[in-house]
Amino acid sequence: MHALAGAAMPDHGAVLHAALGRMLRVTGLPVAFGGAASGGGQSVRLTEFAGTRTGALRGLVITAGNGLGGRVLVTVRPGSVDDYAADAQISHEYDKPVTAEGLRAIAAVPVVAAGSVAAVLYGGIREPLPLGTRLLDAMSQVAARAGIELAVESEVGRRLTALETTAITTAAREARAAPEWEQVREAHAELRSIARQVTDPVLRRRLEAVCDRLTRPHGRPAPGNPLSPRELDVLALVAVGCGNAEVGRRLGLLPETVKSYLRNAMSKLGTHSRMETVVAARHGGYLP
């Protein structure tokens, strides 16, 4: 049994790491680091680094309003400090790890994707010097490109989720030779090719796993199937690891409605748990 990753956001680490490399090249800065935003833009966890000498900043969580990065989260504007530990315009919750890394002058820029802050990128030097608007502009251009790439990956992930749902529910209802089934397979093959062009390996693995499942031989559902089409849809998604909330999100149903379909299926098949119901549906030939 394979669990889908549809509920998870794409892993932005590859895009952010590539952005840090570009930042070092275009600015000449010796140090760059950053991380993805979470909690609706209320915090950033530092996960990507280039040019650092210690692990002092690794895993540090920057919260909105605190420090330079926290100010960037709130204002959604680039910012910089000439000497981090001595600057009077920021709070100083993060002085210890910044000082341990030896950083003095730091600039930070927001990465905006789909209208909200998706990440923050930093660049720094180990001397107390003004970084200047030209450097901030260059960093902002790198951040803008990263924002576009993150938005593309999120949209690809959203479309893959929708396609997975269609493929799974179609597989539960249709025979392998049905024209609709062939169309789903063709769409998956095309999206696999497209997904290989994005940087997030998780999206590629998801699509390949779905395609593998779809190419496995299976026959028509057994005659006398007692399950309704919607009950089959729900069971097909439960069978690949979706919880009730995820099933509801994919099918446009309330969680209570999902539970109702599951209860109906259990009653019809004489089962007492989700997975027992899936197994019974497979044994009956109602699910692939």
Q: Which amino acid is at 33?
A: F
Are both 149 and 243 inside the same structural domain?
A: no
Domain end point (choices 131, 153, 175): 153
Are both 109 and 22 inside the same structural domain?
A: yes
Q: Residue 246's domain spans which residues?
A: 221-288
Are both 144 and 232 inside the same structural domain?
A: no
pLDDT recorded at residue 184: 53
Are both 243 and 149 inside the same structural domain?
A: no
CB-CB neighbours of 54 under 10 Å: 11
Residue 232 lies in a domain: yes
Q: What is the pLDDT along the chain (288 residues), one digit of tens a residue?
A: 333 333 344 568 889 999 999 999 999 999 999 999 998 889 999 999 999 999 999 999 999 999 999 999 999 999 999 999 999 999 999 999 999 999 999 999 999 998 899 999 999 999 999 999 999 999 999 999 999 999 888 888 778 777 777 777 766 665 444 555 445 545 544 554 454 555 666 666 666 565 455 544 444 444 577 888 888 888 888 888 888 998 888 888 899 999 999 999 999 999 999 889 988 887 877 776
Residue 184 lies in a domain: no
Are both 28 and 144 inside the same structural domain?
A: yes
Rg of the chain, C-alpha, whole Å: 24
Residue 6 lies in a domain: no
pLDDT recorded at residue 285: 74
Residue 241 lies in a domain: yes
Are both 140 and 229 inside the same structural domain?
A: no
pLDDT recorded at residue 190: 54
In 3D space, the residue among 225, 224, 221, 235 whose CA is nearest the CA of residue 173 turns out to be 221
Are both 20 and 148 inside the same structural domain?
A: yes
pLDDT recorded at residue 6: 39
Are both 272 and 145 inside the same structural domain?
A: no
Residue 195 lies in a domain: no
Domain end point (choices 153, 175, 199): 153
Domain end point (choices 153, 184, 199): 153
What's the CATH code of the domain at 264? 1.10.10.10
Residue 204 lies in a domain: no
Q: Which burial class, exposed, middle or buried, applies to 274 when counting CB atoms under 10 A from its CB (0-12, 13-18, 19+)?
A: middle
Q: 136-142 contacts: CB < 8 A, separation 24 or more?
A: 136/78, 136/80, 136/107, 136/109, 138/23, 138/26, 138/27, 139/23, 139/27, 139/78, 139/107, 139/109, 140/78, 140/109, 141/26, 142/19, 142/22, 142/23, 142/26, 142/109
pLDDT digits (tens, 9 = 90+) for 94-114: 999 999 999 999 999 999 998
Residue 286 lies in a domain: yes
Are both 145 and 230 inside the same structural domain?
A: no
CB-CB neighbours of 236 under 10 Å: 24
Are both 39 and 126 inside the same structural domain?
A: yes
Are both 38 and 128 inside the same structural domain?
A: yes
Residue 252 lies in a domain: yes
Are both 19 and 126 inside the same structural domain?
A: yes
Number of domains in the chain: 2
What's the CATH code of the domain at 78? 3.30.450.40
Contacts of 42 (CB under 8 A, 6+ apart): 63, 64, 73
